[in-house]
Amino acid sequence: MKDDIEVQYSLQRAREVPSSADNLYEASVPVFRRYLGNLRAMLLLAEADPQGPALLQARLAPGMLTLAVQAEVAANFAVRACAPLAGSALSDSGAFPASVLRESGKFPPTYEGLGQRIDFVRGFLDALTPAQFDGAASRMISDRAGEAVVTLAGQPFLLQYALPNFFFHLTAAYAILRHNGVEIGKADFDGFHVYTGA
């Protein structure tokens, strides 16, 4: 029910916000906000699982990030995308805008800490307005991708770089949980699918 209300709210806002090819608010903020909420719900299921604490250090394969880090990076990517699109400078660490970094605190890699991180990021997203994204599609943005520095205009930055990376880490977190027997499915991932008798 809550998800249905959130989707309808997002669709209503899409109708109310003047359409602009140069404004990337609707393609970013509601998407990140929704899927971070789904990630938070999946982490609550993981915490309640008998393997709960051990799952935080689980990986899909050697050399891949742990569940805790996948969730952290997914949350951070929402900020790494939306802050520069909205014209806000990121901190030197790239994790949070400089203006809110001092309020972000340290979020430990625990279920509680990850929940706090996600809540903090969703609060940051809630404070953004469509007007801040005017001109975002043509705004030049740089971000560190591993050992490379990526510099792109706002639209390809969001659609070809930031969103795919966000979903990469979100999907990895989902796959770690599913692989380790946590009872989640596609409905938990996107909040749209419904399966009866599953």
The 10s digit of each residue's pLDDT in 18-38 is 445 568 999 999 999 999 999
pLDDT of residue 102: 45
The pLDDT value recorded for residue 93 is 53
State yes or no: pLDDT of 179 exceeds 90.
yes
Q: Out of 4-13, 104-113, 180-189, which region has the weakest mean confidence (pLDDT)?
A: 4-13
C-alpha to C-alpha distances, 134 to 16, 28, 49, 85, 185, nearest whole angstrom: 15, 13, 44, 9, 37
Q: Structural domain boundaries of the chain?
A: 2-190
Region 128-153: mean pLDDT is 93
> What percentage of the chain reaches a pLDDT higher than 90?
72
pLDDT at residue number 8? 56
Measure the CA–CA gap between 35 and 41, rounded to whole angstroms. Answer: 10
pTM of the model: 0.84
Residue 129 to residue 28: CA distance in whole angstroms: 11
DSSP letter for 97, please: B
One of 3.40.630.30, 3.40.50.300, 1.20.120.450, 3.30.420.40 is the CATH number of 2-190, namely 1.20.120.450
Residues 139, 136: Cα–Cα separation, whole Å: 5
The mean pLDDT of 153-175, rounded to a whole number, is 97
Instruction: Assign 108 a pLDDT band (cuts: 50, 70, 90).
Output: confident
- The predicted pLDDT at position 26 comes to 96
Q: What is the pLDDT of residue 7?
A: 53
Give the pLDDT score at 1: 47
pLDDT digits (tens, 9 = 90+) for 34-82: 999 999 999 999 999 999 999 999 999 999 999 999 999 999 999 999 9
CA-nearest of 198, 161, 158, 190 to 39 is: 190
